[in-house]
Homo-oligomer: A and B are copies of this chain.
């Protein structure tokens, strides 16, 4: 039986971009379905009744929710090409630790950069730069977190990069001056076709942020 793979997603989601990269890198044929989050499809509500969130990977009718869990699932099922997690248990634990850090710390702080003002925004700026510097340190002299090739942590982290123009504009930070190693890494990632084709344009995200802020009265 041929595998039937469907990705339920909403284009600006950095979590959905992770799955797009991994599916592209492994060459897994799939159907992409864009969701309208203000009017979620019956399929989305049926496939992710707990969180009711995108992205959802549906493999032969069965859902896998939560992006990092879905990346691991894809890596385990389609294990003949482009492994994202190392096989060594310790290296694997380290990769999981940093991906978890990105989810817990970076994404949380990043939201405060452009939705908050005053002291909360100032704290977010400081914490955001600190977190990026910590990740720069973890990257060290490697080309990618995965070594010579894209790994689990790269896939977890790079989708955020396309939100940066927005962060810089509305969070009033300039990441490139503070974290040059981060930018060099991001550029290396963006040279990989599976990444560049899976990420929307920075300007599109910037415009979306403008719209969201307007709608929420955050200007």
Contact = CB atoms under 8 A, between A and B. Distances in A.
A62 interface: yes
A118 interface: no
A92 B62 CA distance: 13
B50 A69 contact: no
A110 interface: no
A73 interface: yes
A89 B101 contact: no
Contacts of A134: 50
Q: Is the interface of A mostly helix, strand, loop or mixed?
A: helix
Nearest to A131: B50
A123 to B, nearest CB: 18
A50 B90 contact: no
A69 B101 CA distance: 12
Contacts of A76: 89, 92
A127 B96 CA distance: 29
Contacts of A97: 64-66, 69
Given A50-B101, A134-B50, A89 B73 contact: yes
Number of copies: 2
A34 interface: no
A90 B66 contact: no
Interface string A71-105: 01100110000000000011011001100110000
A96 B66 CA distance: 9
Contacts of A59: 90
Contact of A64 (B73, B77, B90): B90
A70 interface: yes
Contacts of A69: 93, 96-97, 100
Given A72-B92, A73-B90, 16 more contacts: A50-B134, A64-B93, A64-B97, A66-B96, A66-B97, A66-B100, A69-B93, A69-B97, A70-B93, A72-B93, A72-B96, A73-B89, A73-B92, A73-B93, A76-B92, A77-B89
